[in-house]
Structure 1
Amino acid sequence: MAEWIALAEVAARPVPGRVVALGAGSCLDHVGFRAEAARWRDAFTARGGERWALHFDDTAAFAAALFGAWHAGKTVCLCADALPVTVARLEAGVDGFAGDFPEACAAIALHTQANSALTGTAPPADAVGASDADSAWMPLDEQATRLVVYTSGSTGEAAAIDKRLAQLVREVEALQATFGERLDGAVVHGTVSHQHIYGLLFRVLWPLAAGRAIAPRLFFHEEIAAAMDAPALLVSSPAHLKRIPEALDWNGARTRLRAVFSSGGALPAEAATAAHAMLGHAPIEIYGSSETGGIAWRQHDTDGPAWTPLPGVDWRIADGQLEVASPHLPDAAWWRSADRVEADGTAGFRLLGRADRIVKVEERRVSLTALERQLGERPEVAEARVVLVEGPRAELAAVVVLTGEGQARLRADGRRRVAQSLGQALADGQDAVTRPRRWRFVDALPGNAQGKTTDAALRALFRPERPAPVWVRCDATQAQLELALDADLLVFDGHFPRMPILPGVAQLDWAVRFGREAFALPPRFLRTEALKFQRVARPGMRIHLHLEWLEAKSVLAFRYESELGTHASGRVVLGPAEATA
């Protein structure tokens, strides 16, 4: 079993023969890692300042720079990305940037890369020589060593969370106590970035303390399957685990994987079951947040598993919401989350959903309030609401009331171009995943009897009331179209809950609407004739709608059929618009 090293001594005490990171046909040993950390320590010391933002694509280079900065007495600001708005937000609060930032940061950026045996990049040009890299350094002070992470928080504003090394140390120790025994000698593979707290803990800090080799980040499932050539653990997320292709050869994973971890959002039970079948391990889900660190874990080896608190974490329910106290927090006070929970009757709990307006899309926390505020700043937007729409993949959807200027643009440019323009306006602060993918432009936001706009009403705007037709035939008097009755159609809601059927009023409405698409019908509905409903139509069916326009009689005849026979038929009598005085 590899020797455990306290995080405060990971870069301070030499450990000959220990492998820190792996690359393409090469490895970085502990001697090389300490040399890199020493170069970064000296470079940071030479530049002065207290707070430095780090962003590296390479995990080994990041790890060396992180410990170099800490040993230089710097507070490290862990930015999740290098987008222009992120850089602009950080500029006022940091003394410099180190790593892979855009050229726009040239005035304050540290234009260097760690001299990693894996990357072959040059050491900092002005770094002091690391002649003492083979000697012991003073261990880091757990209380004085600081890390700043950023999260959207409950208000939607980017919130800086100051963490002491002591909090990170206690969390790594809890992970080792819970899962470490099964992972000895495993290479750490991951699909998540080390620039987020989950990736930092699982792909950098825990492996460095436990003596597990860190492999480069994986992006594609083909890379994951190919990488399983030695004992391994996989640090992943629901975004990857929900999409594991069965066609790849997962025999290596089933043979060599010791554990699969997932965090950043709930993993659906069916995805966990599929991942278990292909990878040979039920994923271990970690529940927590940037503010709290890890709180609990669960594994889908049973139906509906509850969350089990990590060692040292206490929890309670107050007003239906989870409160925790743990050494991963800055003090001993109870911290209230925005998650609603219920006790499972033993020692764990189950999550019931969020009480605030922070949602997760592909494991990225997104403030709906912040998106709405950004959209509201646009001159063409009078009002905007954003919701998360579930489906095969969760997507953000925006409902927008346009100003007069916006309406003019909509008439001139069309819906698609206006939506693209609004989406692009968010691009400096949001990447493609965290911007709305679906748009609706309305005259007014939907309201209930109390005048409130509910998320349910907003989501309903993105659920079709009628299916997309497949036109089989359409001429001057005859039309035939095929309709797939998807269970998600809005018309099935409440009619009836246990055995939904297609309402007759919807069938009549569809006949007229599709009739107006096929023929030049008079505008006024007068009456129906010979209306018959003979068989119910249920979700999952595929039915045909036959339409006939009898212009001489001003009658639209319709008939719904399937392989079961006729479902409904009738005639609609239409007329000219009413005369006005």
Structure 2
Amino acid sequence: MTFISLTQLPWRNLSFRHECLPNHWVCSASLALHIDEWHLWLADKPAGRWLLCQQQPLAFCAALIALWESGRVAVLPADDRPGTLSRLASEVDGTLPDAPGPRLAKSAETRPRVVPLDPSATAVVLSTSGSTGNPVQLAKRFDQLDAELSAHAQLWPLTDSGVISQVSHQHIYGLLTGILHPLCTSTPFCGGESRYPETLVTRLQEASAAGLHPVVVSSPAQLSRLPEHLAWHAATPPARVFSSGAPLSQAHAQLAERLLQAPVIEIYGSTETGGIAQRRQTSHSAWQPLPGVALAFQDGGLSLRSPFLEMPQQWWHQPDLVAPVDDGFMLLGRADRLVKIGGRRVSLDHVECLLTALEEVSEARCVDLDRTDGRLGAVVVLEHAFIPHQRDARQCLIQRLRAHLFDHLEPVAVPRYWRFVETVPSNTQGKLDRTLINRLFADLDDPKEPRWLGEHLLDANSCLLTLEVPERLAFLEGHFDEYPIVPGVVMVQWAIHYAHDIFGHRGLFLGIERLKFTRALLPGTRFTLQLTRREDGIAFSIDSQEGRHCAGQVRLQAPKGGQHG
């Protein structure tokens, strides 16, 4: 298919249709109708920067394009957490609602007059992952996006394809690969629930039935969890599978290629630089630069010039350590992971290497928490058999890990705060970002919080959280002096709090039904909280290795205008 740049409005191409696909695919001229509805809604609204957070690709595309065609700038938050949206809302000229309102009949004469976009104008403002500090905003012009999209079209044409995205389009990788590249080539695409493996199989079958060659946009977090038992062979194999956001292990690359019967292409880059290089590591472990990207190597560092940069003619110094090879380079880790603790320079990479040398540790992330005591935190991935479930086991494990590190490090470099997980929590780009780090260690500053150790969406309406009872939980005081336990009302409060956090505000509290407490929840206990969204509220259950602690249903009054989430 012919590639048309963003500035030439490829979405106004009426050939952008495919009759054989379900409605959750973005593939027909109806996109123009949705865009026009947003134009009408925006007609009397202020110009400037508008906050756009929409999970469904069709709604996202229509709103994004209407902003562009009306001369506005889209600001894309890194996540949809209420705190993130509230902070950004105070920095923009407006926030787009979930929908522009009831559809209005309109003739061709009432449709907005649109002209090609200015290549030098700002298209979107993105948030970086913030893995080494608070997230910062970064603007991208149309010419930057078009340059990178042109490189994608050169390397990976989408002829007779259908793109299935498992990642968020709120970030540069998902935006370019899962949304804009298909838009620029009139290629059908979908996302949303495709992040679930079971739904991915269905989407592959839909593309196959329509005579399309599927292309999957994924991440290490998704590809590392592909279940073997699904009917991966019941559809046409994908033309290719993309992965980005974090390194993909060779084992997971091999697993994905075996199950999906397709090459897995990794893209290396950042929000600041755009794409830098790509590889298929089952064939070759070295990275090759993308078209138009010039690289320079000096003292183990990487510099680049790229048309995807804000200033294409200037050299950009990437904070990664590399080793050049004949046909590209090898990534060796971050160059900026040196921190000062107690006046001493500490390599976070070195601490992580020491931890992973232990048999029970499969992965470790050492993090600077920016606390007043200056001490480090550690997120340690353990096999299921080594996960501590009670306070004594946790303390013994911490002592053993610290003793090992004391043999190699100065005392100030040994982490003081520990979180034990079965997989590293990651955002939609597969990264442990600052938001997630703050959640992992939030109980250090809020004595009413449980320790959050990760969450997993079971389906669109259910989520499983892994939590731990901090030994210094404020609610343990006076309940009871000789045998402290978590009060039942606190367990219910946690369920309601996390339900609002995950599913959005569910409404006012009306009551509790079928509430049953079967076992005390003690300090230091690791437990799971399962939440299920219902029409009239939520159902929840709390379980640990010892069994069920409580379960119930909370009735909530839906907010006016319908339920959100």
User: TM-score normalized by structure 2?
Assistant: 0.60
- By how many angstroms is 1:20 displaced? 7.8
The DSSP-based 3-state class of the residue aligned with 1:207 is: helix
> Per-residue deviation at 1:439?
7.9
**Counterpart residue identity of residue 113, structure 1:** A
Q: Tell me the secondary structure at the aligned position of residue 163 of structure 1.
A: strand
Distance 1:236 1:443, change over 3 A: closer
Partner of 2:195: 219
Unaligned runs of 5+ in 1: 99-110, 115-120, 361-365, 398-413, 420-437, 464-581
Q: Contact 1:35 / 1:130 at 8 angstroms: preserved in 2?
A: no
Q: Report how far residue 216 of structure 1 moved.
A: 3.1
The equivalent of 1:3 in structure 2 is: 2
Secondary structure of 1:3's aligned partner: coil
Rate the CA distance shift 1:44–1:415 in 2: closer, same or farther, 3 A: farther
Structure 2 residue 302 is matched with structure 1 residue 325: no
**What code does the residue aligned with 1:191 have?**
Q
What is the number of equivalent residue pairs in this alignment?
A: 385
Residues 445 and 453, structure 1, Cα contact 8 Å, conserved in 2: no
Q: Is the 8 A contact 2:237 2:260 kept in 1?
A: no
- 1:169-568 → structure 2 map (5 Å cutoff): 169-180=146-157, 183-217=158-192, 218-229=194-205, 230=208, 231-253=213-235, 255-302=236-283, 304-331=284-311, 332-344=313-325, 346-357=326-337, 368-369=367-368, 372-373=369-370, 376=371, 382=373, 384-391=375-382, 451=410, 453-454=412-413
Q: How far did 1:239 drift?
A: 0.9
Conserved? CA contact 1:287–1:297, under 8 Å: yes
Task: Kindly indicate whether the alpha-carbon contact (under 8 Å) linking 2:366 and 2:376 is maintained by their aligned counterparts in 1.
Answer: no
Q: Secondary structure, in 3 states, of the residue corresponding to 1:85?
A: helix
The answer as to whether partners of 1:232 and 1:256 remain within 8 angstroms in 2 is yes
Which of these two proteins has the greater Rg computed from alpha carbons?
1
Q: Which moved more, 1:305-314 or 1:39-48?
A: 39-48
Structure 2: distance between partners of 1:243 and 1:5: 35
Shift of 1:244: 1.3
Q: Is the 8 A contact 1:287 1:296 kept in 2?
A: yes
Q: CA deviation at 1:131?
A: 4.1
Deviation digits for residues 181-231 of structure 1 (CA, Å, limit 9, x no counterpart): xx3111111211111111111111000001110123312211112222212
3-state secondary structure, aligned to 1:86: helix
Pairing partner for 2:139 from 162, 170, 177: 162
Distance 1:450 1:367 in 2: 14
Partner of 1:489: none
> For residues 314 and 165 of structure 2, what CA distance do their matches in structure 1 show?
33
Cα distance change, pair 446–246 in 1 and its aligned pair in 2 (3 A): closer
CA contact (8 A) 2:379 2:419 kept: no
The 1:320–1:29 alpha-carbon spacing in structure 2 relative to 1, beyond 3 Å, is closer
Which residue number in structure 1 is paired with residue 65 of structure 2?
67
Per mean C-alpha deviation after superposition, the further-off stretch among 326-335 and 446-455 is: 446-455
CA–CA separation in structure 2 for the residues paired with 1:96 and 1:439: 48
Report Cα offsets for 1:440-466 as digits up to 9, x if no partner: 8999997678846336x7799979xxx
Q: In 2 relative to 1, CA 22–337 (structure 1 residues): closer, same or farther, beyond 3 Å?
A: farther
Query: Does residue 1:113 correspond to 2:99, yes or no?
Result: yes
Q: Are 1:81 and 2:79 an aligned pair?
A: yes
Distance (whole Å) between structure 1 residues aligned to residue 202 and residue 132 of structure 2: 42
Distance verdict in 2 for CA 1:245–1:347, change over 3 Å? same
8 Å CA contact 1:23, 1:216 repeated in 2: no
Gaps of 5+ in 2: 339-347, 350-364, 422-565
Partner SS state of residue 55, structure 1:
coil
Question: For the structure 1 residues 194 and 185, does the alpha-carbon distance in structure 2 shift closer, same or farther, using more than 3 Å as the test?
Answer: same
The answer to whether the 8 Å contact 1:284/1:299 transfers is: yes
CA offset digits 1:241-291 (Å, max 9, x no partner): 1111111121135x3311111111111111111111111113100111111
User: Which range moved further: 440-449 or 50-59?
Assistant: 440-449
- Asked whether the equivalents of residues 188 and 213 of structure 1 are also in contact (C-alpha less than 8 Å), the reply is yes
1:59 deviation in Å?
0.6
Counterparts of 1:27 and 1:262 in 2: how far apart (Å)? 21
Secondary structure at 2:52's aligned position in 1? strand
Aligned residue for 1:294, secondary structure, equals strand
- Structure 1 residue aligned with 2:51: 53
Checking the alignment, whether the CA contact within 8 Å between 1:21 and 1:28 is kept in structure 2 is no
Paired amino acid for 2:31: F
Kindly provide the amino acid, as one letter, of the partner of residue 150 in structure 1: S
Output the CA distance in 1 between the equivalents of 2:231 and 2:238.
14
Deviation at 1:10? 2.6
Q: Is the 8 A contact 1:21 1:60 kept in 2?
A: no
Structure 2 residue matching 1:271: 3-state secondary structure: helix
Query: Secondary structure in 1 aligned to 2:190?
Result: coil
- Deviation by residue 1:112-143 (Cα, 9 ceiling, x = unmatched): 416xxxxxx834x9xx9674577862011111
Q: Counterpart of 1:10 in structure 2: which amino acid?
A: L
- Aligned partners of 1:327 and 1:318: how far apart in 2? 21
Alignment of 1:33-44 (within 5 A): 33-44=31-42
**Structure 2 vs 1, CA of residues 439 and 73 (structure 1 numbering), >3 Å: closer, same or farther?**
farther
- The alignment yields a C-alpha RMSD, in angstroms, of 3.9
Judge conservation of contact 2:305–2:316 (CA < 8 Å) in 1. Answer: yes
Give, in whole Å, the separation in 2 of the partners of 1:42 and 1:4.
29
Amino acid of the residue matched to residue 194 of structure 1? Answer: H
- Secondary structure of the structure 2 residue equivalent to 1:368: strand
In structure 2, do the counterparts of structure 1 residues 136 and 16 end up closer, same or farther at CA, with 3 Å as the change threshold?
farther
SS at match of 1:257: coil
Shift of 1:6: 1.7
Using the alignment, how far apart are the partners of 1:309 and 1:295 within structure 2? 6
How far apart are the structure 1 equivalents of 2:21 and 2:63? 18
CA distance in 2, matches of 1:46, 1:23: 36
Residue 29 of structure 2 aligns with which residue?
A: 31
Q: Secondary structure at the match of 1:193?
A: coil
Alignment deviations for residues 58-83 of structure 1 (CA, whole Å, 9 cap, x no partner): 11110110010011111111112221
- Quote the Cα distance in structure 2 between the aligned partners of 1:187 and 1:415: 50
